[in-house]
Amino acid sequence: MKKPDTGKRAILLCFVLFCGLGFSSCVADRSVTVIKLGHGLDPTHPVHLAMQFLAEQVSQKSEGRMRLDIYPSEQLGSERECLELLQIGSLGMTKVSCSVLEGFVPAMSVLSLPFLFRDEAHKFQVLEGEIGRELLLEGEPFWLRGLCYYDAGSRSFYTKDKPILAPADLRGLKIRTQESPTSIKMVQALGGSPTPIAWGELYSALQQGVVDGAENNPPSFHLSRHYEVCKYYSLDEHTAVPDVLLISTRIWNDLSPEDQAILQESAWDSEQYEKKLWKEATQRALEEVQKAGVKIFYPEKSPFAEAVESLYAEYQEQPEILRFIREIQSIR
């Protein structure tokens, strides 16, 4: 289990206790089971809206017997901190990027590999099929049970001073990455200098020159207002890392089989709902950032793909992850 900075942990746990989470996020109050869900996204983000839909479905299907209380915008901590709270059962659910999750569930690193999917149809075949379902349960030994994936589109580079049209353009640039070994190795392979920074701290890091750019999907680039600082967006679409909705197995195991089924079915319903929201949000985000003066570029992808082939070679000695890679690539 990962351990955050001692000072941060103390502050975070105090806040958790203040919010009434205590040692369990699943509490009985007049026969109502309340599960707290913390995440780092803006309340207008399509993934947050999908989780609101999830909460509505859970309440409706359980006839009010279960309730999800959602805390967005890192109110309960960063993605890493929320995962740690799930592991000890002090938080019920969270939504994190798969790239952050790989630090807790090694098999999830496969979904952070660049240029893994041939196209969007291939991606959904994997995530919504047997491979995706198997990966969701890989975290159970670590007290983390995946319920579903939320589409997070494709990630691309945005920068302050120049566009990224080829891997050579990343040389000498400090690029913010998630706390993901695979993301860090990817930026290194492309010639940049990876700099892990928490999402909530990135805007000021860009402003102050701590980093020269970052990489993310269009809705996140737009809703974070990072376009106010970074005026170049290069759609190389190097990764299609999904978000993952998780529940603490300590909380999951306390639910009745009936409530487990309701929660799981509602999660799958919200997964499909979010896909529709995501398409609309992506188009809207690209239009809005262009209106704000951002220049959008569409670089040739093959030089980027060739530059990161070494990441795949590293898994030749890791049979479990290599199996997932081969199974994903074999889907037609």
How many CB atoms are closer than 10 A to CB 302?
Answer: 9
The pLDDT of residue 179: 87
Between CA 92 and CA 248 the distance in angstroms is: 6
Between CA 43 and CA 51 the distance in angstroms is: 10
Strand partners, 94: 38, 246
How many CB atoms are closer than 10 A to CB 244?
Answer: 28
* Half-sphere exposure at residue 143, Cβ-oriented, CA atoms within 13 angstroms: 18
Which listed CATH number (3.40.190.170, 3.40.225.10, 3.30.930.10, 3.40.50.880) goes with 6-150+241-283?
A: 3.40.190.170
> Which of these, 229, 317, 293, 270, lies nearest to 61 by C-alpha position?
270
**pLDDT mean over 240-247:** 98
How many CB atoms are closer than 10 A to CB 295?
Answer: 11
Between CA 197 and CA 175 the distance in angstroms is: 10
95, 49 in Cβ contact below 8 A? no
Q: Is the pTM of this model over 0.85?
A: yes
Q: Residue 223 contacts by C-beta under 8 Å, 6 or more apart in sequence? A: 41, 42, 44, 45, 285
* Half-sphere exposure at residue 296, Cβ-oriented, CA atoms within 13 angstroms: 16
262, 61 in Cβ contact below 8 A? yes
The pLDDT of residue 6: 42
The pLDDT of residue 134: 98
Instruction: Show me where the domains of the chain are located.
Output: 6-150+241-283, 155-239+284-330
The pLDDT of residue 332: 86
> Which of these, 245, 128, 236, 248, lies nearest to 192 by C-alpha position?
236
DSSP calls for 226-238: GGGT--EEEEEEE
Tens-digit pLDDT profile for residues 83-93:
999 999 999 99
**Average pLDDT score over the chain:** 92
> Which of these, 219, 115, 221, 215, lies nearest to 173 by C-alpha position?
215
Q: Which parts of 32-143 fold into alpha helices (H)?
A: 46-61, 79-87, 98-101, 120-127, 130-136
**pLDDT mean over 300-328:** 95
Of residues 23 and 54, more confidently modeled: 54
Q: Which of 26-35, 152-161, 237-246 has the lowest mean pLDDT?
A: 26-35
The CATH code for residues 155-239+284-330 is 3.40.190.170
Pair of tokens at residue 258? 């009936």
Q: Check whether 237 has a pLDDT greater than 60.
A: yes
**pLDDT mean over 182-193:** 97
In the numeric block, the tokens 């805007």 are attached to 203
Q: Check whether 48 has a pLDDT greater than 70.
A: yes
Tens-digit pLDDT profile for residues 134-151:
999 999 999 999 999 999
DSSP calls for 6-52: HHHHHHHHHHHHHTT-TT-SEEEETTEEEEEEE--S-TTSHHHHHHH
Q: Check whether 36 has a pLDDT greater than 70.
A: yes
Q: Check whether 60 has a pLDDT greater than 90.
A: yes
The pLDDT of residue 30: 57
The pLDDT of residue 105: 97
Binned at pLDDT 50, 70 and 90, residue 31 comes out as confident
Q: How does 208-237 read in b/e, with b if 16+ C-beta sit within 10 Å?
A: eeebbbbbbbbbbbbbbebbebbbbbbbbb
128, 115 in Cβ contact below 8 A? no
Between CA 264 and CA 247 the distance in angstroms is: 10
Same fold, 6-150+241-283 and 155-239+284-330: yes
Between CA 103 and CA 328 the distance in angstroms is: 21
